[in-house]
Chains A and B, each alone.
Chain A
Amino acid sequence: MSALYTRTLTQLAEGLRRRSFSSVELVGELLARIEKNQPLLNAFISVTAEEALAAARAADRTLAAGGGGALTGVPIAHKDIFCTEGVRTTCGSRMLDNFVSPYNATVVAKLKSAGAVVLGKTNMDEFAMGSSNETSFYGPVRNPWNPQLVPGGSSGGSAAAVAARLVPGATATDTGGSIRQPAALCGITGMKPTYGRVSRYGMVAFASSLDQGGTLTATAADAALMLREMAGFDPRDSTSVERPVPDYVAALAEPIAGLRVGVLAEFFDQGLDPENERCVREALKVLEGHGAKVTQASLPNLPLSVPVYYVVAPAECSSNLARYDGVRFGHRCEKPRDLNDMYRRSRGEGFGAEVKRRIMTGTYVLSAGYYDAYYLKAQRVRALINADFARAFNGVDVLVGPTTPTPAFPIGAKTSDPITMYLNDIYTIGANLAGLPAISVPCGFVQGLPVGLQIVGPHFSEARVLATAHAFQCATDWHTRIPVGYA
Chain B
Amino acid sequence: MALTREQIASIATLARLDLTSSEIPVYQESLSAILEFVGALERADTSNVTPMAHPLPGLTQRLRPDVITEGDGHERYQLNAPQTAAGLYLVPKVIE
Which A residues lie at the B interface, using CB under 8 A?
Answer: 98-100, 102, 194-196, 209-210, 235, 238-239, 241-242, 301, 304, 306-308, 310-311, 318, 322, 325-330, 332, 336-345, 347-349, 351, 353, 356-357, 359-361, 363-365, 367, 374, 376-384, 386, 418-419, 422, 432-435, 459
CB closest residue in chain B, given A373: B42
For the complex of A and B, the 8 pairs showing the least CB-CB separation, nearest first, are A435-B55, A348-B18, A379-B51, A380-B46, A332-B82, A329-B80, A383-B52, A344-B18
Given contacts A102-B73, A310-B38, 15 further A-B contacts (CB under 8 A): A98-B80, A210-B55, A301-B44, A347-B18, A351-B17, A357-B31, A359-B17, A377-B42, A380-B46, A381-B49, A383-B50, A383-B51, A386-B55, A435-B56, A459-B56
Contacting residue for B41 out of A209, A336, A377, CB 8 A? A377
The B interface is mostly helix, strand or loop, or mixed, namely: loop
CB closest residue in chain A, given B63: A238
The A interface is mostly helix, strand or loop, or mixed, namely: helix
Q: How far is the CB of B68 from chain A (nearest CB, A)?
A: 14
Contacting residue for A434 out of B34, B51, B55, B80, CB 8 A? B55
Is A307 touching B37 in the complex (CB atoms < 8 A)?
yes
Is A374 touching B38 in the complex (CB atoms < 8 A)?
yes
Is A102 touching B79 in the complex (CB atoms < 8 A)?
yes
Contacting residue for B18 out of A102, A209, A311, A345, CB 8 A? A345
Sample 25 A-B pairs with CB under 8 A, ordered by A number.
Answer: A195-B55, A239-B59, A239-B62, A301-B44, A306-B37, A307-B41, A328-B78, A329-B82, A332-B82, A340-B16, A344-B17, A347-B16, A347-B17, A348-B17, A349-B18, A356-B27, A357-B34, A360-B11, A360-B27, A364-B31, A377-B44, A379-B52, A384-B49, A418-B34, A435-B56
Q: How far is the CB of A341 from chain B (nearest CB, A)?
A: 8
Is A342 touching B34 in the complex (CB atoms < 8 A)?
no
Residues of B27-70 at the interface with A, using a CB-CB cut-off of 8 Å, are 27, 30-31, 33-35, 37-42, 44, 46, 49-57, 59, 61-62, 64
Is A367 touching B14 in the complex (CB atoms < 8 A)?
yes
Is B79 touching A339 in the complex (CB atoms < 8 A)?
no
Q: How far is the CB of B9 from chain A (nearest CB, A)?
A: 11
Is B33 touching A418 in the complex (CB atoms < 8 A)?
yes
Is A433 touching B55 in the complex (CB atoms < 8 A)?
yes
CB closest residue in chain A, given B81: A328
What is the CA–CA distance of A196 and B15 in the complex, to the nearest angstrom?
29
Contacting residue for B35 out of A100, A239, A339, A364, CB 8 A? A364
CB closest residue in chain A, given B77: A102
Which B residues lie at the A interface, using CB under 8 A?
Answer: 8, 11-12, 14-20, 23, 26-27, 30-31, 33-35, 37-42, 44, 46, 49-57, 59, 61-62, 64, 73, 76-83, 89, 91-94
Q: How far is the CB of A208 from chain B (nearest CB, A)?
A: 10
Q: Which residues of A contact B11 (CB under 8 A)?
A: 360, 363-364, 367
Q: Which residues of A contact B56 (CB under 8 A)?
A: 194-196, 239, 241, 435, 459
Contacting residue for A327 out of B20, B46, B91, B93, CB 8 A? B91
Q: How far is the CB of B20 from chain A (nearest CB, A)?
A: 8
Q: Which residues of A contact B82 (CB under 8 A)?
A: 326-327, 329, 332
Q: How far is the CB of B10 from chain A (nearest CB, A)?
A: 9
Is B53 touching A379 in the complex (CB atoms < 8 A)?
yes
Q: Which residues of B contact A330 (CB under 8 A)?
A: 80
What is the CA–CA distance of A307 and B61 in the complex, to the nearest angstrom?
26
Q: Which residues of B contact A367 (CB under 8 A)?
A: 11, 14
Q: How far is the CB of A218 from chain B (nearest CB, A)?
A: 29
What is the CA–CA distance of A268 and B6 in the complex, to the nearest angstrom?
42
Is A102 touching B80 in the complex (CB atoms < 8 A)?
yes
Q: How far is the CB of A361 from chain B (nearest CB, A)?
A: 6
Q: Which residues of A contact B62 (CB under 8 A)?
A: 238-239, 242
Contacting residue for B53 out of A209, A307, A364, CB 8 A? A209
Q: How far is the CB of B16 from chain A (nearest CB, A)?
A: 4
Q: How far is the CB of A318 from chain B (nearest CB, A)?
A: 6
Q: How far is the CB of A70 from chain B (nearest CB, A)?
A: 27
Q: Determine which residue in A195, A210, A380, A418 has the highest number of CB atoms from chain B within 10 A of its CB, and name it.
A: A380
Contacting residue for B77 out of A328, A374, A433, CB 8 A? A328
Is A239 touching B54 in the complex (CB atoms < 8 A)?
yes
Is B15 touching A381 in the complex (CB atoms < 8 A)?
no
Q: Which residues of A contact B55 (CB under 8 A)?
A: 195-196, 209-210, 386, 432-435
Known contacts A304-B44, A382-B52: A328-B33 contact under CB 8 Å: no
Contacting residue for B46 out of A325, A348, A381, CB 8 A? A381
Is B92 touching A361 in the complex (CB atoms < 8 A)?
no
Is B16 touching A418 in the complex (CB atoms < 8 A)?
no
Is A338 touching B80 in the complex (CB atoms < 8 A)?
no
Is A336 touching B92 in the complex (CB atoms < 8 A)?
yes
